[in-house]
Amino acid sequence: MWDWEQRHQKLDEQKSFLTPLDTLIPWEESRSLLQKVHERPRKSNAGRKPLNVILKFKLLLLQGFYNISDAGLEYQVNDRLSFMKFLKLGLEDAVADATTVWQFREDLTRLEIIDELYEKFESYLSAQGYKAQGGQIIDASFVPVPKQHKGTSINKG
Domain total in the chain: 1
Q: For residues 48-65, b (16+ Cβ closer than 10 Å) or e, as one string?
A: eeeeebbbbbbbbbbbeb
The Cα-based distances of 147 to 59, 140, 144, 152 in angstroms read 42, 21, 9, 11
pLDDT at 81: 86
pLDDT of residue 61: 94
Residue 112 lies in a domain: yes
What is the residue type of 69?
S
Domain assignment present for residue 44? The answer is: no
Residue 80 lies in a domain: yes
Does any domain span residue 145?
A: no
The answer to whether residue 45 is domain-embedded is no
**119: domain range?**
17-39+50-127
Report the pLDDT value the prediction gives residue 53, as an integer from 0 to 100: 94
Rounded Cα distance between 125 and 132, Å, is 8
Residue 95 lies in a domain: yes
CA distances from 14 to 8, 19, 80, 84 (A): 10, 9, 15, 16
Q: Is residue 152 part of a domain?
A: no
Q: How many helices (H) and strands (E) does the chain have?
A: 8, 0
Position 154 in a domain: no
Nearest-angstrom CA–CA distance, 136 and 65: 8
Select from 8, 5, 30 the least CA-distant residue to 86: 8
Q: Could you say which residues of the chain have pLDDT below 50?
A: 136, 140-142
Residue 136 is predicted with a pLDDT of 47
